[in-house]
Structure 1
Amino acid sequence: MSKRVSFHSRRPSLSRVRGAVVAAGLGTSMVLGVGAAFAAGTAGAPDAANLINISAAESVAKQAAAQGKAAKAAKAERAAVKKAAVKNAAAWETPVRHYALSASFGNDGARWAHKHSGQDFAVPIGTKVKAAHGGTVVKAGPNGGGDGPAYGNAVVISHGNGVYSQYAHLSRIDVHIGQTVKTGEKIALSGNTGNSSGPHVHFEIRTTPNYGSAINPVSFLHKHGVMV
């Protein structure tokens, strides 16, 4: 009886080979896909250095904008202060609007019998007399408001910083002691009271509220932008 010898092939079957190839292909595709996705994800994204540079640039831009805004505000503030200073410096007026100059400071005149302590503005009786600058009334009444009968009816206004103005020979006084007045506000009517030979307003600038402290009122007004 003959023996059959069976030969078992050591080669894998065709179906196994195909399965292995397909599996290997899928694995390769997955690996390659992951790699491609990673490469695609990192290629377009900014690295850490770029992020730092962008952040620094934004910070500098914001700081520059803030500094520019602050500089603009400071410039506007300086302009406002300058404008206010100019306005304040020019906020002086003559005590009457239409006038003729008569006796001047330090001189004798037709309406003043001795050395003159102010500037006379010749105007008709009853002319409106204005505050030359804003301030507080510290003297008002007959007898020069306390400075003597030569002044007649008079008013003295304190403007602060050691500056006072005086208005004399008035026919009527329209303010009282302690009253606050504005530049150009009516305070009295001109007259011919006291030591006066004709209707006028005697105007003084003083360094105290009292007689004897007068300075040249015309020079003072010129310094404050008022031409007399």
Structure 2
Amino acid sequence: MTQRVTSRFSRTSLIRSRAAVLAAGMGASVALGAGVAAAADTTAASSAAGAIQAQAAAQAEAAKVQAAAQAKAAEVKAVKAEKAAEAKKAAAEKAAEAKKAAAEKAAKAKKAAQAAAKKKAASWIDPVKSYKLSAGYAQSGGMWASKHSGQDYAVPTGTPVVAVHGGTVVKSGGNGAGDGPAYGNAVVIKHGNGTYSQYAHLSSVNVKAGQVVKTGQKIALSGNTGNSSGPHLHFEIRTSPNYGTAVDPAKFLRAQGVQF
């Protein structure tokens, strides 16, 4: 009886032991599987994080390269703009200098022209002052054998008569200084370039042949001698000292800058 009970107890204990071992083995297997799964998840997460980090680093590097390229392009553009601005400024300065030089040249030319005109006008003057023009060159009339040979200046007797330009007296005195009684008292002055001036109908003569006179120098007084209808100065410009070579005196004097 005792032996049978012991055997039954032993068998039961054995069965329980085996069950416990089996359960422990199953638990270990489950725990091992869970550990492997957790390790796999950790590896995958690490791989994903690494990929993300790599992608982020690549993007950051690409952005850095792009930013550097943009900065370089901006720098090149700024340099070009600066050079263009400098070139524009230089061109503007050059144009301003050219304009200034042209203005100065024009002003200088104008001043020179005015000085030349003044000098020219000063070198030839009217033979009398405060006059009124009367009979003109080539005018027809009963007072002359042909047409009028000079320009008449209506002035009172005794008005000072001056040399219209510097020169040498070549004829002086009555009888038209050799040109005939129609001229009355007269003076003829030789100027440069084969030009002569003649003054007639004078009341008195103040110069002699051979005398050198200056522009504006008094040479006589106006009058009414010779073939004259009233006090005036008869004035001629000639190409020789003698009658018959007269040209238009008013036109000649205007060409020299004399204003009537």
Query: Shorter-normalised TM-score: what interval?
Result: 0.5 to 0.7
Distance 1:109 1:94, change over 3 A: farther
Aligned-partner Cα distance in 1 for 2:217–2:134? 24
* TM-score normalised by length of structure 1: 0.61
Tell me which of 185, 188, 211 is aligned to 1:153.
185
Tell me which of 171, 175, 182 is aligned to 1:139.
171
Q: Secondary structure at the match of 1:145?
A: helix
Q: Secondary structure at the match of 1:150?
A: helix
Tell me which of 172, 175, 179 is aligned to 2:211.
179
Q: Secondary structure at the match of 1:161?
A: helix
Aligned-partner Cα distance in 1 for 2:115–2:179? 35
Tell me which of 193, 212, 228 is aligned to 2:225.
193
Distance 1:110 1:96, change over 3 A: farther
Q: Could you tell me whether the CA contact under 8 Å between 1:103 and 1:120 is conserved in 2?
A: yes
Match of 1:100 in 2: 132
- Which structure ranks higher in relative contact order (CA pairs < 8 Å, sequence separation ≥ 6)? 1
Match of 2:29 in 1: none
Give 1:121 shift: 0.2
Per-residue CA deviations over 1:74-120 (Å, capped at 9, x if unaligned) read: xxxxxxx9888545522111110011111000003586564100000
User: 4+ residue stretches of structure 1 with deviation over 6 A?
Assistant: 81-84
Q: Secondary structure at the match of 1:205?
A: strand
Name the amino acid aligned to 1:89. Answer: K
1:129 paired with 2:164, answer no
Identity over aligned pairs, percent: 67
| Number of residue pairs matched by the alignment | 151
Aligned-partner Cα distance in 1 for 2:217–2:144? 27
Distance 1:129 1:110, change over 3 A: farther
* TM-score normalised by length of structure 2: 0.54
1:1-228, aligned counterparts within 5 Å? Answer: 86=117, 88-90=119-121, 91-108=123-140, 114-228=146-260
Aligned-partner Cα distance in 1 for 2:234–2:172? 14
Give 1:227 shift: 1.5
Name the amino acid aligned to 2:230. Answer: G
Q: Could you tell me whether the CA contact under 8 Å between 2:117 and 2:257 is conserved in 1?
A: no
Q: Which runs of 5+ in 1 are unaligned?
A: 1-80
Higher radius of gyration, 1 or 2? 2
Aligned-partner Cα distance in 1 for 2:190–2:116? 19
Aligned-partner Cα distance in 2 for 1:164–1:121? 18
Aligned-partner Cα distance in 2 for 1:122–1:153? 17
Q: Secondary structure at the match of 2:250?
A: helix
